[in-house]
Amino acid sequence: MRYILASNNNGKLREMKVILAETGAEVVSQREAGADFEAEETGTTFEENALIKARAACQALGEPAIADDSGLCVDALGGAPGVYSARYGGCKTDPERVALLLKNLGDEKDREAKFVSCIACVFPNGDVLTARGECPGTITTAPRGDGGFGYDPVFELPGTGKTMAQLTEEEKNAVSHRGRALKAFQEKLREYDAHK
Ligand code: IMP
């Protein structure tokens, strides 16, 4: 079966395609499938926003659609930027968002944080599958590395001394929130297929 990836974020799309390809599933981005729109993320949780995006793509194209809604939650900032990670402070670019995060955190000692990813898959018959993955880490005082996307250059993985942006794509996918959520999702998809 073919699945539509309901995202226009190139960093996410690349990771989702690589991980989902391991299952043999055929995946294509919604733009490649001819639906060039951005669903409005009006939810207040990662789960709600993932469902909004997957539903919109499924309805527009009439095929099963998978969406990721994800973000960075920083303890000392009360969980911000959270579901607003992509629009933090109204910033337009990743470097601007990273700079704002470092400014807001200042010289705060508690730099604990986590990345969260929620995957939602909506089928044309209305069936829904969801899965969640988290990755704990700490926020650095300056960006390091040029891999990945988003907040990767300031997110350090415990015990490695490396930021997400200093990992290869394969290393990141093995430990990341999205990698974990997609693994849990694959398990649910296998069960769903088995009981159809
Ligand atoms: P959304 O899920 O499209 O609302 O956006 C998620 C936002 O969270 C991205 O634009 C990034 O700023 C951030 N984010 C999500 N996953 C990652 C990641 O794997 N690395 C770095 N930043 C991420």
Please give the pLDDT value at position 195: 83
pLDDT tens for the chain, 196 residues long, are 899 999 989 999 999 999 888 878 889 999 999 998 889 999 999 999 999 999 999 999 999 999 999 999 999 999 999 999 999 999 999 999 999 999 999 999 999 999 999 999 999 999 999 999 999 999 999 999 999 999 999 999 999 999 999 999 999 999 999 999 999 999 999 999 888 7
The reported pLDDT for the residue numbered 135 is 98
**12 alpha carbon – ligand 1 mean position (Å):** 8
Mutate to test the pocket of ligand 1, among 8, 29, 149, 164 (most ligand atoms within 8 A of CB): 149
Domain ranges of the chain: 2-194
pLDDT at 5: 96
Say if ligand 1 is within 6 A of residue 129 CB: no
For residue 27, the SS3 value is: strand
Q: What pLDDT is attached to residue 196?
A: 76
SS (H, E, C) 101-155: HHHHHCCCCCCEEEEEEEEEEECCCCCEEEEEEEEEEEECCCCCCCCCCCCHHHE
Q: State the first-to-last Cα distance of the chain, in angstroms, to the nearest integer.
A: 13
* CATH number assigned to the domain with residue range 2-194, chosen from the 4 options 3.90.950.10, 3.40.50.2300, 3.40.50.300, 3.40.50.720: 3.90.950.10
Q: Tell me the C-alpha distance between 136 and 115, whole Å.
A: 6
Nearest alpha-carbon partner for 117 in 36, 39, 160, 53:
53
- What pLDDT, on the 0 to 100 scale, is given for residue 193? 86
Q: Cα Rg for the chain, rounded, in angstroms?
A: 17
pTM of the model: 0.96
